[in-house]
Amino acid sequence: MTIKILGSGCPKCQRLYANALDAVKQAQSSATVEKVTDMSEILRYRILSTPALVIDEKVVSTGQLLSAESIVALL
């Protein structure tokens, strides 16, 4: 499983990345978590706001700072 955090590197994006890492630990998952800051790559997902959370190439959240618990539920 691959989890991507799409964003420019803003504080919300960084916090979502940290929450995703916490979620992977809580779920005892072997998922990898990646930051995507390249704007051309972000635009490929056709999102209107960041940060965005992508799980296995499916956009599951945009413009929200999800908690680790919320991310675990999505996994």
Q: Which of the four pLDDT bands, split at 50, 70 and 90, describes residue 9?
A: confident
Domain 2-74 has CATH 3.40.30.10: yes
- How far apart are the C-alpha atoms of 52 and 41, rounded to whole Å? 12
Residue of 1, 10, 18, 43 marked catalytic: 10
Nearest partner of 33 among 65, 66, 2, 73, judged by Cα: 2
Is 19 designated active site? no
Averaged pLDDT, 8-16: 94
Which residue out of 3, 5, 6, 13 is catalytically annotated?
13
pLDDT tens for residues 17-65? 999 999 999 999 999 999 999 999 999 999 999 999 999 999 999 999 9
Domain ranges of the chain: 2-74
10 carries an active-site annotation? yes
19 and 53 in contact (C-beta within 8 Å)?
no
Q: Return the pLDDT at 13.
A: 95
Is there a contact between 40 and 69 (Cβ–Cβ < 8 Å)?
no
Specify the pLDDT at position 31: 94
